[in-house]
Amino acid sequence: MADFSGKKALVIGGSRGIGAAIVRRLASESASVRFTWAGSRTKAEELAHESGAEAIQADATNRSALLAATRDAGPIDIFIFNAGICIAGDPLTLNPDDIDRMIDINIRAAYHASVEAARSMPDGGRIILIGSTNANRVPFKGLAAYSMTKSALQSMVRGLARDFGERHITVNVIQPGPTDTDMNPANGPQADLMHSVMAIKEHGTADDVAAYVSFLAGPAARGITGAMQTIDGGFSA
């Protein structure tokens, strides 16, 4: 286990799933953790109570609320952008407003909050975005727009790594494969199809992703930046 005593962490979108596992992990490693949530009040309150983290309501589509939450949490040593939604289906019939909302959360909010976090981040800080293995591989129909939002994060971290490298701030994207959460349950109707393209034919867990975050946030990862960290059971192999 890492020791993040004296470090401040902010997780954008931490009330459920992968984000909640990251909150629990960093709090258990003695970081002072805040997280934002949008719709899941009860889950956020329960998680705050259980972990000792502080829950802040801030919808990532509301830029001023998002930036205020990020500013108020600063200076942040470890910044995680996890919030995301997946709108999948036939591109000819998907609602364009739903696609735009996904772009707002998955790309726009990720960029603006990361830059805001970097503004006051101490030297040696960490910016970690949660992307998706679908940035590398799109083996099924219906995922064009979602995958597009996640591949945008790849060039985002490459560029921000250059922008903040002199301050020894590292910027990376973790790209999970199928991970057992509300978004993608291990017993869901698409599970067998997903497993068919994986080397290890099972969903990962949110705790697996949180462990990767902990490693990247720690001192041993100081030289890893501008890079894609894929944890997908061989989905993209």
String marking each residue 53-92 x if it binds ligand NDP according to CB under 6 A: ------xxx--------------------xxxxx------
Q: How far is the CB of 166 from ligand NDP (least distance, A)?
A: 29
Answer yes or no whether residue 15 interacts with ligand NDP by CB under 6 A.
yes
For the chain, the farthest-separated pair of C-alpha atoms sits apart, in whole angstroms, at 50
Q: Work out whether 127 is an interface residue with ligand NDP (CB under 6 A).
A: no
What is the per-residue DSSP string for 50-100?
Answer: HH-PEEEE--TT-HHHHHHHHHHTPSPSEEEE-------S-TTTS-HHHHH
Q: Is 181 among the residues that bind ligand NDP (CB under 6 A)?
A: yes
Among 54, 100, 182, 202, binds ligand NDP (CB under 6 A): 182
- CB-count burial class (<10 Å; 0-12, 13-18, 19+) for 187: exposed
Residues acting as catalytic residues: 146
Residues 151, 134: Cα–Cα separation, whole Å = 8
Residue 29 or 59: the one with the smaller Cβ distance to ligand NDP is 59
Q: Which of 176, 221, 228, 235 binds ligand NDP (CB under 6 A)?
A: 176
CB 174 within 8 A of CB 231: yes
Q: Which is nearer to ligand NDP, 132 or 170 (CB)?
A: 132
Single residue of 7, 8, 13, 227 touching ligand NDP by CB under 6 A: 13
The smaller minimum CB distance to ligand NDP, of residues 19 and 226, is found at: 19
| Options 22, 26, 27, 40; binder of ligand NDP; rule CB under 6 A | 40
Q: How far apart are CA 2 and CA 208, in angstroms?
A: 15
Rule CB under 6 A: say whether 225 interacts with ligand NDP.
Answer: no
H runs (alpha helix) in the chain: 17-28, 41-51, 63-72, 96-103, 110-120, 144-164, 191-196, 206-217
CA distance 191 to 211: 23
The site for ligand NDP (CB under 6 A) is made up of 13-19, 36-40, 59-61, 82-86, 105, 130, 132, 176, 178-179, 181-184
